Amino acid sequence: MQKTIAKFEVSYLQILDETGKIDSNLMPKLSNDDIKKLYELMVITRIADDKALKLQRQGRIGTYAESKGQEASQVGSAYALKKEDFVFPSFRELGMFVTRNFPLEQYYQYFGWDERGNKIPENQNIFPIAIPVGTQTIHAVGFALGIKLKKEKKTVITYFGDGATSEGDFHEAMNFAGVFQLPLVFLCQNNQYAISVPRSLQSHSETLAQKAIAYGFDGIQVDGNDIFAVYKATSEALEKARQGKGPTLIECLTYRMGNHTTADDASRYRTEKEVKEWQKKDPIDRLKKYMQAKKLWSESYEKEITKKAEELVNKAVEKAESLGIPPVEDMFKYMFKEMPPELKEQLEELKNE
């Protein structure tokens, strides 16, 4: 005997298309103020990102991973979070940080060679940036398991890229999350590249969303440049998690408009034509078109919010650059709660140089 015992489908969600039109049946509940807020957060993100790029070119910060083009994925998902929810990010999440009101100066400080920037303020539920690809996903699992054991109503979201879905840690995280039915959202920003390696070489799967199926939970692909779709999918996944109905994988189809980092030269592996095609799908332009039609946008509004964003960013940079060099003790101080004798001796040696 041979028969089909399981069949699966993967759905794709787009609400706001490239021309700025929405599918009103799918539109999530968002007030005009919410929509303006989403737009403003994306604008701040883009301006802050562009500033970081400039600072790097001037030698004022170090290697930097650009977020341009991914603002809707980052802002839309973070906007769906409640304050008590916990985030486990990787290194390309500026929009999430902006949305959560993270002190922007710390972001510049961190990419400006200073560990203190990665000290998340006490009142913010964000784990420090994880540079080793995919490793944070399994920490999110542990944190979510803790929430479940404590019977809290919080949820966890972890951010990662398409490349990360190849790492063993990612698969272990997905499996654990499924087995333990955790209040966790896996948010994949599929920006089409892991440095030079295109998505098609990263996995033979048609979608990344479908990876969830193998682990026994839902995966959905969304237009990651459509902030309404990202917001809706994330809100629903978080709500499901809060109700104890387990994890969700969200694959945001987006595009890294810039280089992988400031150390990269994307022209080595992709065409200008491809970049131009994606430019047409820009997440900010798209929302702007929608807002224009709804009379939520005007030239003066744009000027005003741009000016505000620039002021915010410039102030953050000024602050970051005023913070100086961390004290040399810091190198030793955070290794353990109690400094062991070896370290005390080594610190003395260094100070006496």
Partner 1 sequence: MTVMNMVEALNSALKNEMQSDKTVLVLGEDVGVDGGVFRVTNNLLKQFGPERVFDTPLAESGIVGTSIGLSVNGFKPVAEIQFDGFVHPAFDQLISHASRIRNRSRGRFSCPLVVRSPYGGGIKALEHHSEAMETVYVHTPGLKVVIPSSPYNAKGLLISAIRDPDPVIFLEPKKVYRAIKEEVPEKSYTIPLGKANIVQEGSDLTIISFGSMIKTCKEALEQINYSIELIDLQTLYPLDTETIINSVQKTGRCVIVHEAPKTAGIGAEIIARINEKALLSLEAPVERVTGFDTIIPLGKREDDYLPNIKRIKKAVEKVMNF
Applying CB under 6 A, the residues found at the interface with ligand TPP are 92, 131-133, 160-164, 191, 193-195, 256, 260
120 binds partner 1 (CB under 8 A): no
Give 85 or 93: the residue with its C-beta nearer to partner 1: 93
Binding partner selected for residue 169 from partner 1, ligand TPP, none, CB under the kind-specific 5 to 8 Å limit = partner 1
Rounded to the nearest 10°, the torsion over CA 228, 233, 235, 240 is 160
Q: Of 163, 246, 258, 283, which one interacts with partner 1 (CB under 8 A)?
A: 163
Beta-carbon contacts of residue 146 (< 8 Å; ≥ 6 apart): none
Binding partner selected for residue 113 from ligand TPP, partner 1, none, CB under the kind-specific 5 to 8 Å limit = partner 1
- The Cα-based distances of 161 to 1, 132, 204, 257, 324 in angstroms read 42, 12, 16, 14, 33
> Has 269 been annotated as catalytic?
yes
Give 196 or 298: the residue with its C-beta nearer to partner 1: 196
Q: Is 170 helix (H, G, I), strand (E, B) or coil?
A: helix
**Rounded least distance, CB 116 to partner 1, Å:** 9
Give 92 or 288: the residue with its C-beta nearer to ligand TPP: 92
Q: Which of 92, 260, 286, 290 is catalytic?
A: 260
Site string for partner 1, 43-72 (x = CB under 8 A): -------------------xx---------
Rounded to the nearest 10°, the torsion over CA 129, 134, 139, 140 is 90
132 binds partner 1 (CB under 8 A): yes
Give 77 or 135: the residue with its C-beta nearer to partner 1: 135
> Has 256 been annotated as catalytic?
yes
Q: Starting from the edge strand earliest in sequence, which strands make up the sheet with 248-253, in order? A: 11-13, 218-223, 248-253, 184-190, 156-161, 86-88
Beta-carbon contacts of residue 261 (< 8 Å; ≥ 6 apart): 63, 64, 65, 66
Binding partner selected for residue 193 from partner 1, ligand TPP, none, CB under the kind-specific 5 to 8 Å limit = ligand TPP
- Strand segments, DSSP code E, in 195-247 are 197-198, 218-223
Q: Of 1, 5, 6, 325, which one interacts with partner 1 (CB under 8 A)?
A: 325
341 binds partner 1 (CB under 8 A): no
The footprint of partner 1 on residues 217-256 (CB under 8 A) is: none
CB 316 within 8 A of CB 108: yes
Long-range Cβ contacts of 272-281 (<8 Å, 24+ apart): 278/69, 280/18, 281/18, 281/225, 281/255
Binding partner selected for residue 191 from ligand TPP, partner 1, none, CB under the kind-specific 5 to 8 Å limit = ligand TPP
Q: How do strand 218-223 and strand 193-194 relate by DSSP bridges?
A: unpaired
> Has 231 been annotated as catalytic?
no
Please name which of 61, 51, 66 lies closest in space to residue 260, comparing C-alpha atoms.
66
Positions marked catalytic: 256, 260, 269
Residues that bind partner 1 (CB under 8 A): 62-63, 91, 112-115, 131-134, 163-164, 166-169, 194-197, 201-203, 263-264, 268-269, 325-326, 328, 330-332, 335, 342-343, 346-347, 350, 353
